Chains A and B, each alone.
Chain A
Amino acid sequence: DQQVKQNSPSLSVQEGRISILNCDYTNSMFDYFLWYKKYPAEGPTFLISISSIKDKNEDGRFTVFLNKSAKHLSLHIVPSQPGDSAVYFCAGVIQGAQKLVFGQGTRLTINP
């Protein structure tokens, strides 16, 4: 039972445009979410996070939006750059249960 889902395995975006990566979750007990970026042959690196008490968190070109009623979060990258081409994972934390769940990942390709 996948509690955190990234339904798009891949996404292709033109350089300079906005990239939107989506993530859905099934358990309302998640209280914290994180996004990671992974380049080939490297470990994932932390990108941005958001607490369930917020609906938006911004860091430079990266913004994460959380819609609790829809159990949906999204990562916006604007403007997209070629260096953003990577696999992006979202993850949710259920603090009370000490549970951490990752999505399957979305491969983002930025075309010049």
Chain B
Amino acid sequence: DAGVIQSPRHEVTEMGQEVTLRCKPISGHDYLFWYRQTMMRGLELLIYFNNNVPIDDSGMPEDRFSAKMPNASFSTLKIQPSEPRDSAVYFCASSLSLAYEQFFGPGTRLTVL
């Protein structure tokens, strides 16, 4: 298996632009997670899905952030409009269950100028 795939690996955009991050989880995994890592706050869970349904989105910072999972093999995290404080590394992970190990993707480094 190729593992969790994220794209793009790096994204540089200007404030106010829409940003879409993509994730392909490991086949057969029922859970998909989106995380954000910053120096100040460490690793934050933004949202997670179970069988394509959002379960807990309490970590989503504000309405500018949205996430979708239209099918078992694809998810997006969208920021619209983007702001400089959104600059961070965004990770996607998948697992068989909440209590099983999560497999993380390589991350997308987002820079908002």
Contact = CB atoms under 8 A, between A and B. Distances in A.
A binds B: yes
B105 interface: yes
Contacts of B93: 43-44
Interface residues of A, number: 24
Point out which of B45, B98, B104 has the most chain A C-beta atoms below 10 A from its C-beta: B98
A31 to B, nearest CB: 8
A44 B56 contact: no
A69 B104 CA distance: 32
Main secondary structure of the interface of B (DSSP, over half): strand
B42 A99 contact: no
A65 to B, nearest CB: 18
Interface in B91-113: 91, 93, 98-99, 101-107
B50 A44 contact: no
Given A43-B104, A43-B106, A45-B104, A93 B43 contact: no
Contact of A98 (B44, B55, B106): B55
Contact of B43 (A41, A45, A46, A105): A105
B56 to A, nearest CB: 6
Contact of B56 (A32, A46, A99, A103): A99
Interface of A: 31-32, 34, 36, 38, 41-46, 49, 51, 89, 93, 95, 98-105
